[in-house]
Amino acid sequence: MSDIIRRDPRAEWIARNRLHPLHQAMQQNVAEVRGPNGLIRKNPHAVGFIGPNGIKRIDRLNGNQLTTLGSRRSGATKEVKLPLHRVTDPDYYIIVVPDMVGGRLSSHDRDVLGQAHQLTHEIGGSGAVMAVVFGEYREEHFDKAGVDRLLNFTGDAYESYSPELRVAALALTEQQFAPRHWLFPDSVAGGFDLGRRLAARIGERPATQAWQVSSVQTICRGAGGTQDLTRDTPRLLLLAEECAAPIDETRHEVLPVTTSAVVTCRNKIEDCGQVAVDPNAIAIGEAEFILSSGNGVHNWDQFHQAAKVLGATEGASRVAVDAGFMPRFRQVGATGTYVTARVYVAVGISGAVQHLQGIGQCEKVIAINTDIGCDMIKRAALSVIGDSEAVLAELIRLVDAYRQEVIDDAA
């Protein structure tokens, strides 16, 4: 062959023409091209691929996009696997006694667990956070809340109100584990009482309503919340709400811990169970279940009957109160009372801004209304479009039947 370099115009043309069917095949994938000065040359034209419309596409995510595309197509958001925090051989324990309202960790409990981990970080060493839970629980995500060890006292006695027994159990735990700190939520749901009982039992002077805690210094509210007391951090702390950020970036082992000792105590307090309370005697601001009426209610006798049958506290919108159908103290909203009900049933309320402000903290809102365009429907978890009188009548019938069934089953 001669030394003359011959050009191949056709090959050059195909190399230039990205749309040519032979273009991809003609491209040679040379890993590294060195220029005349020894520098590595990159061919920018070789980057990327030709998309279905003949337009060049460059994938700058190095193939990472493919996985996200796949998950988006499947519809379900993929659960992020958080890193596991392991404490194999703990030097010390920090014990948290959560309230477990309804068998689950409350947000206050999570804050306290977060505080416990903050303390272990400050103290250093390998410290384990142990949660002490009484009776049956329904919480499934102890691991994500930051529980390294779980001590569960089970038995029928713990299911009812048993502060003396619980304190005896905690005092035993104190003997066995000698924790570095005891942390309680300072809440009416139970931590207030139990924490102080334990403090009196083991002779520790607690910090109460503590809201800024480090391993050396604690700031807590005193004098009925008007003073800040700065003090050394004691062993036993009763923490205010939002004392620390909850755990959200790690998983924890939740290893079950058992005690060999048997808890015994003389019960001087006998629990006779919860008392049926007239729902209308409960202040509307703290009622759990509210049946609220507005302009769309015409049959007031039926409304009162429905509230009675459901066992709900009555509420009203401003219109119903102004019209004289309901007393002023029943008014819900910015001009009345801000309510904290877990379930709020709005009958014939269109949902003025002031009213929606008043129900801002409600978890589940149910709307019964004839107008599908109203704001209450947008807020509600379940909306029923129809005549409120007919729906309430059916609802009363259903609840009556349900109550009858429960009584028959019990008999």
Partner 1 sequence: MMQPERNYPELNICALISTGKHPDSHRARRAKQDARAVEMALSIAPKQCQVIHAGNPQEESLRSYAGMGLDQIRVLVQQEKTDVVPVLRDYLRLANPDIILTGIRAESGESSGMVPYLLAEQLGCPLISGIADIVSVKEGVAEILQALPRGQRRALKVKLPFVATVDMAAPEPRQSAFGPASRAALDALESTVRHDDEVWQAWSEAPAKKRPRRLKTVKAKTAADRFKAATAKSQASGGKVLRDQSPSEMAKAVFDLLLEEGVLR
- By CB under 8 A, the residues from 249 to 288 that bind partner 1 are 249, 268-277, 281-283, 286-288
14/284 with CB nearer partner 1: 284
- Smallest separation (angstroms) from partner 1 to the CB of 380: 5
Does 103 sit near partner 1 (CB under 8 A)?
A: no
Residue list 194-213, contact with partner 1 (CB under 8 A): 196-197, 199-201, 205-206, 208, 211
- Smallest separation (angstroms) from partner 1 to the CB of 279: 8
Residue list 4-63, contact with partner 1 (CB under 8 A): none
Q: How far apart are CA 300 and CA 290, in angstroms?
A: 16
123/309 with CB nearer partner 1: 309
119/312 with CB nearer partner 1: 312
Indicate the helix (H) or strand (E) that contains 152.
strand 149-153
Among 306, 316, 295, which residue's Cα sits nearest to residue 391?
306
Q: What dihedral angle (degrees, nearest 10) is formed by the CA atoms of 318, 320, 323, 327? A: -80
Side-chain half-sphere exposure of 354, counting CA atoms within 13 A: 11
Does 222 sit near partner 1 (CB under 8 A)?
A: yes
DSSP codes, 96-107: E----GGGS--H
Among 259, 106, 267, 301, which residue's Cα sits nearest to residue 169?
259
Identify any residues that bridge with 151 across adjacent strands, giving them in sequence order. Answer: 132, 257
- Smallest separation (angstroms) from partner 1 to the CB of 225: 6
Q: How far apart are CA 255 and CA 130, in angstroms?
A: 9
- Smallest separation (angstroms) from partner 1 to the CB of 110: 12
262/276 with CB nearer partner 1: 276
The Cβ of residue 38 has, within 10 Å, a number of other Cβ atoms equal to 6
Residue from 56, 231, 298, 328 touching partner 1 (CB under 8 A): that is 231
- Smallest separation (angstroms) from partner 1 to the CB of 41: 32
Burial degree of 259 (CB within 10 A; 0-12, 13-18, 19+): middle
- Smallest separation (angstroms) from partner 1 to the CB of 410: 14
Determine the size of the site formed for partner 1 (CB under 8 A): 82
Please state whether beta strands 56-57 and 84-85 pair in parallel, antiparallel, or not at all (unpaired). unpaired
- Smallest separation (angstroms) from partner 1 to the CB of 379: 7
Amino acid at 141: H
DSSP codes, 346-379: EES----HHHHHHTTT-SEEEEEES-TTSHHHHH
Residue from 141, 394, 404, 405 touching partner 1 (CB under 8 A): that is 394
Q: Which two tokens stand for residue 344?
A: 């709020």
Q: How far apart are CA 151 and CA 155, in angstroms?
A: 13
Pattern 139-178, partner 1, x by CB under 8 A: ----------------------x-xx--------------
Pattern 342-381, partner 1, x by CB under 8 A: xx-x------------------xxx-x---x----xxxxx
Indicate the helix (H) or strand (E) that contains 133.
strand 127-134
151/346 with CB nearer partner 1: 346
- Smallest separation (angstroms) from partner 1 to the CB of 148: 22
88/227 with CB nearer partner 1: 227
**Cα–Cα distances in Å, from 293 out to 317, 348, 350, 361, 396?**
6, 6, 10, 18, 16
119/199 with CB nearer partner 1: 199
10/205 with CB nearer partner 1: 205
46/277 with CB nearer partner 1: 277
The owner of tokens 């429960």 is: 406
32/278 with CB nearer partner 1: 278
Residue list 68-87, contact with partner 1 (CB under 8 A): 68
Q: How far apart are CA 326 and CA 340, in angstroms?
A: 20
Residue from 10, 26, 382, 405 touching partner 1 (CB under 8 A): that is 382
What is the widest separation between alpha-carbon atoms in the chain? Answer: 112
